[in-house]
Amino acid sequence: MTDITNKSDVKKLVDTFYNKAKTDELIGYIFEEQLAGKWEHHLPTMYSFWASILLGEASYRGNVMVKHIELNQKIALKKEHFDRWEILFIRNVDDLFQGTVADEAKKRASLMAQLMSFKVARSTNKHFIQ
């Protein structure tokens, strides 16, 4: 197994993850409901997001936290959703890659899941500050 070293690796990571996540019994429905017919737009955004984080590409333009807070207004996102996302993402990295960048991907995914779970849960509070 090799490390994540280029955009092709990031694409493999993202594609493989979403193929698993969208059929997951706990979180799959969220992806299918929100992204049906939109995958061709969403996946390149995720390639840029992860390439920016892992490869320093700086191509992602957006606010992932705002997107999830908005999604929470449509579908109640719970801690267990973020926990499952984290588990699936880390397993996916472990299945495909090993090395320093792969370890960073897992660390970032864990931090992201925790922060999003925390902020999304509190976003309905009228005193919430993003």
- Over residues 15-72, the pLDDT tens digits come to 999 999 999 999 999 998 888 888 999 999 999 999 999 999 988 888 888 888 887 7
Give the range of the structural domain holding residue 20, as residue numbers without chain letter.
7-122
Asked whether residue 14 is domain-assigned, the answer is yes
Number of domains in the chain: 1
| pTM of structure | 0.89
Asked whether residue 105 is domain-assigned, the answer is yes
Asked whether residue 86 is domain-assigned, the answer is yes
CATH number, residue 104: 1.10.490.10
Asked whether residue 129 is domain-assigned, the answer is no
Asked whether residue 130 is domain-assigned, the answer is no
Vertex 119: Cα angle to 127 and 34 (nearest 5): 115
Q: Where residue 76 falls among pLDDT bands split at 50, 70, 90?
A: confident
Which residues does 130 contact at the CB level (< 8 Å), separation at least 6? 65, 66, 69, 119, 123
Q: Is 26 exposed, middle or buried (0-12, 13-18, 19+ CB in 10 A)?
A: middle
Asked whether residue 34 is domain-assigned, the answer is yes
What percent of the chain has a predicted confidence (pLDDT) above 70? Answer: 95
